[in-house]
Amino acid sequence: MEAYLQKVYDQENLTREEMQSVARAIFAGDLTQAQIAAFLMALKIKGETIEEMQAIAETMQGVAIQLPIASENTMDNCGTGGDKSLSFNVSTTSAFVLAAAGIKVAKHGNRSISSKSGSADVCQELGIDISLGAEDMVYLLENAGIAFLFAPHVHPNMKYVMAVRRELNTPTIFNLIGPLTNPVKLETQLMGIYRRDLLEQTAQVLGKLGRKRAIVVNGGGFMDEASLAGENHYALLENGEVTRHTFLPEDVGLKSQGLEAIQGGDAARNAEILLSVLKAEPSAYYDTVILNAGLGLLAHGKAATLEAGIQMARDLIDSGEAYAKLTKLLACQKERLAG
């Protein structure tokens, strides 16, 4: 183990097998907090490779709580976080739109690490129970078409790194691979990332992890979401090939707006924003959600073009179907817990 750690300190890449060995040691609690912190920072300075990202993601999935869900029509739209934009919960809001389109959404997420309100925080504010067991999550996915998978709950071995991540207070490889480690074996995915330089690389990792189709996006203003604040960049994984694409909001019929237009607040404020979007109240928040939900529909293959996906997302919100998915989730949760 010391040799592997020294190799990273010396700015040398680890092989897939070496990274798996380090990851197993981390998740078994065999490394000290100081060793983990030093390793994460050395890896960040060196730069994470495809093999390293794949290896730690596979290892993390291997020790996660398993959810036996059919993967064909199930997706996630979790982002890395770490963009420091202080935006509202874009992917959580968009998840209800995707679910309204008939896609089963296994929404992977966490409490706030670098923002005021993480997806888990806003879900709790909405009345969604984030502490459900594996069978309960499967029930909600099958009956409501959407379930929230609280990362520390489905990845109990992450307890060995949570304190280090908070103390470092900077994005690490765990931000990059968090969305890759959904315990449901997904075939499609939309993933936001805060690092534009890793778009193609991350899409390739998704392919190695079994995704047949996926989009990795970095938005205008370098958000880990598609945004209205300038040029958006995304990598599309399709049929084993990765292609790079860019677009401006105006290219898809939306108005450009600065990041300040979609800033959120605490969990209570972000829950208000989420509900206002699902109730079809016009705003920059609404436009940002139809953009990201449209991209998710394209990633899943429900829409043939981004423009078609955005129109589909708009229709799902304006018709009340997206809001109905939230009420359906809460009703199924109440039914399950009462039973």
Binding-site residues for 5-phospho-alpha-D-ribose 1-diphosphate sit at: 79, 82-83, 87, 89-92, 107-115, 119
With a CB cutoff of 8 Å and minimum separation 6, the contacts of 155 are 60, 63, 64, 65, 181, 183
Residues paired with residue 311 on neighbouring β-strands, in sequence order: none
CB half-sphere exposure, 289, CA atoms < 13 A: 32
- Beta-sheet strands, E only, within the chain: 74-76, 104-109, 146-150, 188-192, 213-218, 232-238, 241-247
- 135-154 b/e with 16+ CB inside 10 Å = b? ebbbbbbebbbbbbbbbebb
Can you say which residues are annotated as belonging to the binding site for anthranilate?
79, 110, 165
The CA R_g of the chain, rounded to the nearest whole Å, is: 19
CB-based contact 175:82 (threshold 8 Å): yes
Burial class for 166, CB neighbours closer than 10 Å (0-12, 13-18, 19+): exposed
**Residue 233 DSSP label:** E
With a CB cutoff of 8 Å and minimum separation 6, the contacts of 15 are 51
Can you say which residues are annotated as belonging to the binding site?
79, 82-83, 87, 89-92, 107-115, 119, 165, 224-225
Can you say which residues are annotated as belonging to the binding site for Mg(2+)?
91, 224-225
Q: CA separation (Å) from 231 to 26, 202, 215? A: 38, 19, 16
Report the length, in residues, of the chain. 339
